[in-house]
Structure 1
Amino acid sequence: MTTLLSQCQFTDKSLTTWQIGYGTTENSPVTFCAFPTDNMERKSETVGCILDHLEAKIVNPTTGEMMPLGETGEIMIRGYCVMLEYWGEKAKTDECISKGWYKTGDIASMDAFGYCKIEGRIKDMIIRGGENIYPAEIEQFLHTHPKVKEAQVVGVEDSRLGEEVCACIKLADGEDCTAEEIKAFCKGQIAHFKTPCYVLFVTSYPLTITGKIQKHLLRAQAEQQLGLKKEK
């Protein structure tokens, strides 16, 4: 379970210092944290640097090989914070911990200064005709549209390409919009293969009891609405 944390500390009436942290429940739970003195770009676009006495690396999710700085891959953590095991689930433990390294399941990149940028979840990655697409990138772009209140992107089944991009959008109060308008907004601004093939307008998303969006259910709902899967 991935955890993103933010905290605010008020030092006086005119100055607010805030920090971003990142971690997982299995890592007890924070492994990266920003510095109070970081500039706004680093605070808004990264989760900071690895904490003391911990190690982190970015690897190719398929081969396990280390990725060059700046390139995306799965982030792995090693150190005192890594849990011993899932209680009574050895197979699951062996699946996510190898030689002390915990596989977070998160896609990230790291720059030359050690700052980490989270790109998304491996299980949420869309594979469209051999192209790896990270929904978080498209979601961030769609959030810049003045009529969009919230956007969630999922991959839906496609007989030719394997998956296609589907954007499930909540509009801002009182706004009207069309799928064509959203696609036109994307044209020339993001890669053509990342432009949503389908745009659905929704009023809510399926949530867990802690308020996290259940993308597997959202995908199923989108496929059902689009008629891509028959009812069982």
Structure 2
Amino acid sequence: MLHHAISALTNILRPDLDLSKSRLETLCMIVIGMVSARSVNLGHLACERPGSALTSSTYRRLQRFFQHVHLDEDWSLPLLVRLLGLNKSWLLALDRTNWQIGKTEVNFLVLAVVTRRFRVPLVWSLIEGRGCSDTDMRIALMERYLANFPATTIRLLLADREFVGAGWMEFLSKNNIPFAIRVREIFALRPRTVTTLPCAQGCAWPAVAGLFAPASAHARTQPPAIRRS
């Protein structure tokens, strides 16, 4: 059963990976093994080997793979888009996910594609500690995406209220990336052509037209974050 699964996955990955037959099969063995063993421990993965190979020799094979094979940071991005069967443009979501392993904080900034049932991570970066991302991190993540696909593939970028900032919004606008980002209701929109509009009323603005000003004197000023299209 595992042999057939590894063979099928090898055929799927071959067009996108420039690896030898042996190393591609080893990669597929690792992927299938993680699903079967529900672990990333190489000792456990070696026990999921197909055929009659010794566990010790399979373990050494897995070690050699990680010792000698170096995949590009975003090698899986074109592969995932192809497997998802996406059309000319798609929805992207920018978010953060974090958890703890013992006392160690694991905090990722993730750019995912939105499907009907799932959010599939495309590119991600590790954030040190428990804090939020900054503008430079977000721009760097988007530039990795844009290195593989043009901005025209982004139908809309969705993000939560923590993903604001003048430099960030300017980057999205300059690169013609349409976006819809939540903002706090205490802020008000100040377009260039109409009177101030409280965000608490709910609105969708066709372009970045000004700055969000605090609705109260004690709130901080925020850059535009409702919608650009």
- Same fold per TM (> 0.5)? no
What is the TM-score when the length of structure 2 is the normalising length?
Answer: 0.29
Higher-strand-fraction structure: 1
TM-score when normalising by structure 1: 0.29
Structure with greater proportional helix content? 2
